Amino acid sequence: MSKKYHFTLGVPTHIKWVREEIDKHREEIDSPLGFRQVGDSVVYVHSQLYHWPGSRRRLYLHLYFDPNKQADDRVKFDLYIAQLMDELKNEKHVEDHEPHYTQFFHCKKTPKRGLQVEMDWEAITAARNEYVGYQAILSTRIKDTLQALQIYREKDVVEKCFSDLKNQLDMKRLRVHRSPMMKGRLFIQFIAMIILSQPKYETSYESKKSLPHTQQDVF
């Protein structure tokens, strides 16, 4: 933050200050005031200036609620709770999960019955209902809520494609992949993905009013 680099990045919604902002603006977000249509999908939004503690730099906090994402997030959350339960029962704790063991479960161990693990239904239901479907993006430069969302999505697509590309490098070619040649190839393909994502952005639904061109025109 002190070096004043520009960034647009997603912020996890389990962070306390993000949840406080969601709670503060929940009614406004999930209302006709926050309603936006993005192509064929719908998203509810809120944007505001955010002052980072100890910094005078201007930041924009964008909050989103996606009804479709809510359904996906609930499934992911339920899978995560099941994973936590399995870790507790098998006594294979993961350090990063310790706060959630305490938050969502009651554990008791006795000589006669051994380890007993029970879900805290009230805590699980509260977390399941309150924050699933929400997303937060923090940006130093992008003021427009939908533009920030689109840039983040394009960035996410490029990163996932690059991750898939690396995963495709099988063990048979491991020696080659460690060479400078393979590293150079990966770098070039990563840059190519970024360049190819720009025409898609320029010809997207949000950009058509200002740039009514096809991808071929942009190239």
67-99 core/surface letters (b: 16 or more CB in 10 A; e: else): eebeeebeeeeeeebeebbebbeeeeeeeebee
How far apart, in whole angstroms, are the C-alpha atoms of residue 85 and residue 62? 33
pLDDT confidence of 60, banded at 50, 70, 90? Answer: very high
pLDDT confidence of 146, banded at 50, 70, 90? Answer: confident
The mean pLDDT value of the chain amounts to 79
Tell me what pLDDT residue 80 has: 93
Helix residue ranges per DSSP H, the chain: 16-29, 67-89, 98-104, 121-130, 145-167, 174-177, 180-202, 215-218
Model-wide pTM > 0.85: no
**Beta carbons of 22 and 134 less than 8 angstroms apart:** yes
Tell me what pLDDT residue 137 has: 92
Angle between helices 180-202 and 145-167 (to 10 degrees): 150
Least confident of 97-101, 106-110, 118-122, 201-205: 201-205
Tell me what pLDDT residue 52 has: 82
- Find, among 11, 14, 15, 10, the residue nearest to 127 by Cα: 14
